[in-house]
Amino acid sequence: MHTAPATSIVFALGLALPLCSAAGCVGVTTDLSGDANSSEPPPDPCAPAAPASDAGVQVPPGMARQVIVLIGDGTGAAHWEAARVAAGGTLAVDALEGPSLYATDALPAGTTTDSAAAATAIATGQCTFNGRIGVDGSGLPHRNLMEYARAAAMGTGIVTNTVIVDATPMAFVGHSGSRYCSESLAAQLIDVARPDVVLGGFIPDSAFAGPGLDERARAAGYSVGFELSALRAAAADAEPDAPVLGLFGEGPSSPLWTAWDQGLTPEILRDAGSDEPTLAEMTRFALERLASDDSGFVLMVESEHADTVGHLAYLDVAQAAVWMPSLVLELDAAVAEVLAWVESHSSFDDTLVVVCADHETGGYTLAASNPEDLAGASFPSSPNHTPSAVPIFARGPGSERLSDVKHLSDIFQLLTGNLDALPGTGRCREN
């Protein structure tokens, strides 16, 4: 199993990413998209910036009883079309309304976003500068979707196939001047946000992956498992409402992924007999745990693998073109699990399902001469993120306003039922 160096992780892109603790950050803050941060971080970027107490906080009156948002990191319109070709027809996501396209820029307006700023916009409705988590352009924290849910005693869950303390999941639970403050964000996750279900990738002793996350969680009353079967057993032996933390990952078998193995292995690269759960299996487990909450719940599911391949595609375009459709199908399988759960346990009168993206990565483009020739796809913008508009799908309360989602920050309004705030302007603006 890969163990990260003590001071930084050097990826195939040649970028040294900083590692942070409560004492501060080591290294130069550089976004994986290749875009420099647009603003200097606060003097102490790893100091937690928490919003006010939950006392008196009300869930927005239009918010659905169950809110499930699935995020395809780096997934644009061409990614979904490639998945349809690979599947030979209709996808699970096609049962939702849409797609509608929206802009993804960060501050200053027009800046190509990174995942931290993008996820912050989705989770809080606030635009911010690249690299920041749960704070606006002035560094002020804003309540996120999970915090609204927690204040109303709703269940909360995080599922991801990257490391749990990566930018997208952390924007739904934490507040920080830097996405790289892993130790501080891990503390906020377990000690403050305390989601009922947390499932994702993990590497013991890796600072980037959240050092001591398992020990911290056990001390905070979590049932912890390193395989899904073990987690089920541990949860069965615990109190019915005890939170659960699943830490999974074996590291990928392909040489192209050896410097990027902080999360779960893409299914197409797994060895026979792998114990790693699929994104769909983790989603099913989370729904099973959260369904018993009488007050409803909020669940965020992230599929990160398409983003990673978009970043690395320039190293081997032909291989990336072969892999990409299967990575999107991982997300679609999770969508299918969600739709099956709604069909058997709820209804779209009570449940809002949203499938969206934080940005597009690599400029993934199907061959103009023959779009069904998936091996002929290209990645002209790899290793960078692009400013391309990306698709959103939805079904449930508020989904009739899907076409009014013009920007990432508008998704928060849809998720919370604040439909009077739509349509948006289609541009990032400083609030």
> Within its chain, how far is the Cα of 70 from the centroid?
8
- Alpha-helical (H) ranges within 190-316 are 213-219, 228-237, 279-290, 305-312
Residue 145: both structure tokens together: 């979707």
- CA 188 to each of CA 54, 133, 174, 213, 412: distance values in angstroms, whole numbers, following the listed order: 15, 12, 6, 11, 21
DSSP states along 186-225? HHIIIIII--SEEEEE--TT-STT-TTHHHHHHHTT-EEE
**In which residue are the tokens 């009488």 written?**
294
Structural domains in the chain, CATH included, are 8-421 (3.40.720.10)
Q: What is the dihedral of CA 56, 57, 61, 63, to 10 degrees?
A: -150
Burial degree of 255 (CB within 10 A; 0-12, 13-18, 19+): exposed
Hey, what amino acid is at 228? Answer: L
Residues shown for the chain = 431
> Is this model's pTM higher than 0.85 or not?
yes
3-state secondary structure of 375: helix
**DSSP state for residue 181 in the 8-state scheme:** -
Query: Rounded distance, CA 193 to CA 278, Å?
Result: 25
| Cβ neighbours of residue 89 closer than 8 Å, sequence gap 6 or more | none
Q: Tens-digit pLDDT profile for the chain (431 aa)? A: 323 322 222 223 322 233 333 333 332 232 333 333 345 544 577 876 766 666 667 777 889 999 999 999 999 999 999 999 999 999 999 999 999 999 999 999 999 999 999 999 999 999 999 999 999 999 999 999 999 999 889 999 999 999 899 999 999 999 999 999 888 899 999 999 999 999 998 765 555 555 578 889 999 999 999 999 999 998 888 888 899 999 997 655 555 555 455 678 888 888 888 889 999 999 999 999 999 888 999 999 999 999 999 999 999 999 999 999 999 999 999 999 999 999 999 999 999 999 999 999 999 999 999 999 999 999 999 999 999 999 999 999 999 999 999 999 999 999 999 998 888 888 887 66
In 3D space, the residue among 171, 82, 148 whose CA is nearest the CA of residue 372 turns out to be 82
